[in-house]
Amino acid sequence: MNLLYPSRRGVLGALLLGPLLGAWATRAHGQTAPAAPSPIVQPSAPSKAAFLERARELRDAAVAAGDQPYGAVVVRNDVIVGQGRSEVVSATDPTAHSELMAVRDAARRLGTRSLSDCDMYSSATPCPMCQGALYWAGIRRVYTETTLEHGLAPKLAC
């Protein structure tokens, strides 16, 4: 058999057994499929103050885990669709800010990269990196304790 032109049997065998062997190899090395996201705690009465309170709870959870004190939630139609707490220290990831973690969570849960119909509630004013990510995700408004009334539109400028 010529190695440049494999037989049909070899090609069909590789197509049929490849996925099975790949799954076996993944399990054999301790890797598993990503777990389904946990349910998001919703406030009893949706309001700007309640969403900001949830961001503060996530901030407190970050502190309890030994991380930086930041938390954020992404809200669409008065429902929290994504949440995040700072994981910069625990994940050893300088980009794991709470706002980015919330955007990633919302995009994953909603199955889209466009969050143009969503708002964010954060325990602090987002840094320039997070502002840029919120801009590119299409977040409409960002609310913090100091901007709770009208919020801010994300921008690309520093």
In sequence order, the β-bridge partners of residue 74 are 82, 120
57 is catalytic: no
State how far the Cα of 65 lies from the Cα of 85, in Å rounded to an integer.
Answer: 10
Distance of CA 9 to the CA centre of its chain: 44
State how far the Cα of 52 lies from the Cα of 144, in Å rounded to an integer.
Answer: 7
C-alpha closest to that of 103 among 88, 82, 124: 82
| Catalytic position from the list 87, 99, 145, 149 | 99
- H or E element at residue 125: none
CB 154 within 8 A of CB 135: yes
State how far the Cα of 29 lies from the Cα of 42, in Å rounded to an integer.
Answer: 37
Catalytically active residues, by annotation: 99
